[in-house]
Amino acid sequence: MARKAVRSKAPRAASAASWRPAPGEAGIRVRMYRVGFGDFFVVTLLDANAQPLHILVDCGVFKGTSQSGDLHSIEAAVGDMVALTGGRLELVVVTHRHADHIAGFARCAAVFKKMTVGAVWMPIWESEYEPVAVKFQAELVRTAFALQRHFFALGAAASPEQRSALQFMENATGAAGAAAAGSNDAALALLKRGFAGVTPKYYKANDKPEVPAALVEAGLAAKVLGPPPLDDLQLMKLMDLQKGVGQYLAEEAGDEAGAGRPFAGEWEIAPAEALASPGAYAPESFREWTAPRKSWGDVTLAEARAGRVRMEKALQASQPIAALMAAKQLNSFLNNQSLVLLFTFKGRNLLFVGDAQAGNWEHWLFETDTPDKKGSATVAAAAQKLLASLDFYKVGHHGSGNATPKAAADLMTGEGHKFAAMCSTEAHVYGTEDPEDPSKGTEVPRGPLLDKLASRAALVRSDQIPIKVAGKTTPARVKAALPGPIPGSRFEKGDFWIDCFL
């Protein structure tokens, strides 16, 4: 049973957070910082005495495949967050361990260590007391580093697919080397052990979260919608990364020198022995790679050797694609671990979904452990009611097409429903927009998805405002004015942030 939340005795420092809610507003402000490709949100609630209480949801940034995703504004944004909160956070929410969600905790660790933090929430997959999660994360990190070493060693010889895969792995591990100042390990160490007197709480779907007392007294309620439980059937299929991902490079435990070998050692044979040694490969083993013939019994040794060379070249050519598939699968594993939270405050509903993809969404949308790749199942009544009554939606996965399922978007944008939405993103960092074939859907953010949400929502994206940090101005990526107010919400922009008032 969860312990009763205890209010911290530390006094609240003065902050720049107070404001007067406009008519019809509940006293909620969501600040979205423009740091590039990464999530960094501060939710401020005004209690009955108009005193501000602050919740931090993620603090990360990543350069992405284009190398342009980091605008070098996260340090300034963290400094603004400290001034805004007076150095006090009632709650820190970490949705998952990708760099674009936690890098700021490592890069600004000295600043965070000086803050007063009431509680830290993380997904169940980060628990150090759940053997299944510990084993899974350890193997995930080991496999990610093996892939990363392999791709990095290729240098200029790396194919576009391999360079793309390297970026996925850097997002999974952070800076090169587990002890690096900017690594994900450094961020996780701070979050798990760096705040005095705070032990993180690890949650999964349907857990009852331990909301800090000050937030409870102010009227905040929270519901955990994801990630799915550790014993979820779909996730259990993915537990063995050696079979689920490692097979693409056959990385063996402890085999540092063999990173990227196409086959494990016991399956290898020296080239000189491949055709000559007893018990090795007979000439007809390579018959499919020799010239067509009516009978394969007369394949000569020379023909077989030539066939083997052709086969090896084909395998080498396929490896970059296989490596990219492995990297994407690891990336999806981490995204689906996202902590998904519904906050309710004074009648307003706010949904934060991290980077949750299909498996995470389907668990609570359809109340099922059986994956439905087509997403054609009937949405559960509770999920229908929730999505049709949202007042705020943090657009999932930076507006990617592999998040915010169509069923969810349809319910959010139902007739007569108006809500606010914020998408923390940076165009042209991941994927490409193809006007000739929009069905490819690789660009992030995905245009048709944002258009769908904007049909009912007052939607803003972080890259639509220019930002000014240390005298340097970074222009907006897209030209769009902030949307006008809708009943119960409005937007304002600052030097490098956008505020949504509810």
Residues 279-338 have pLDDT tens digits of: 566 666 666 667 766 555 666 667 777 776 776 666 555 556 667 777 777 778 888 899
- Burial tier of 253 (Cβ tally within 10 Å: 0-12, 13-18, 19+): exposed
pTM score of the predicted model: 0.82
Model confidence at 405: pLDDT above 80: yes
In a domain, 387, yes or no: yes
Number of H helices, E strands in the chain: 14, 18
Q: pLDDT: is 252 or 258 the higher one?
A: 258
In this structure, what are the phi and psi dihedrals at residue 479, rounded to the nearest 5 degrees? Answer: -95, 110
Residues 124-168 have pLDDT tens digits of 999 999 988 888 888 777 777 777 777 777 777 777 777 777 788
Query: What's the CA gap between 82 and 111, in Å, rounded?
Result: 8
What is residue 403's predicted lDDT score, i.e. its pLDDT?
A: 87
Q: For all residues of the chain together, what is the average pLDDT?
A: 81
What is residue 362's predicted lDDT score, i.e. its pLDDT?
A: 84
Query: What's the CA gap between 123 and 234, in Å, rounded?
Result: 17
In a domain, 312, yes or no: no
What is residue 66's predicted lDDT score, i.e. its pLDDT?
A: 82
Which residues form the domain of 91?
Answer: 28-243+329-501
C-alpha 328, offset from chain centre:
12
Query: What's the CA gap between 127 and 337, in Å, rounded?
Result: 12
In a domain, 209, yes or no: yes
User: 395: left (phi > 0), else alpha (psi -120 to 50), else beta?
Assistant: beta
In a domain, 19, yes or no: no
**Which residue's structure tokens are 């990364």?**
241
Out of 108-122, 252-266, 351-365, 414-428, which region has the weakest mean confidence (pLDDT)? 252-266
Average pLDDT over residues 39-44: 98
Query: What's the CA gap between 496 and 470, in Å, rounded?
Result: 11
Domains of the chain: total: 1
In a domain, 260, yes or no: no
C-alpha 378, offset from chain centre:
26
In a domain, 417, yes or no: yes
Model confidence at 235: pLDDT above 70: no
Single out the residue of 378, 465, 372 nearest to residue 427, CA to CA. 465
What is residue 7's predicted lDDT score, i.e. its pLDDT?
A: 45
Q: Which amino acid is at 310?
A: R
What is residue 470's predicted lDDT score, i.e. its pLDDT?
A: 82
Query: What's the CA gap between 499 and 502, in Å, rounded?
Result: 10
In a domain, 319, yes or no: no
Bridging pattern class, strands 120-123 and 220-226: unpaired
- 273 secondary structure, DSSP code: G
In a domain, 1, yes or no: no
Query: What's the CA gap between 274 and 308, in Å, rounded?
Result: 9
What is residue 258's predicted lDDT score, i.e. its pLDDT?
A: 46
Residue 386 CA neighbour count, 13 Å, CB half: 22
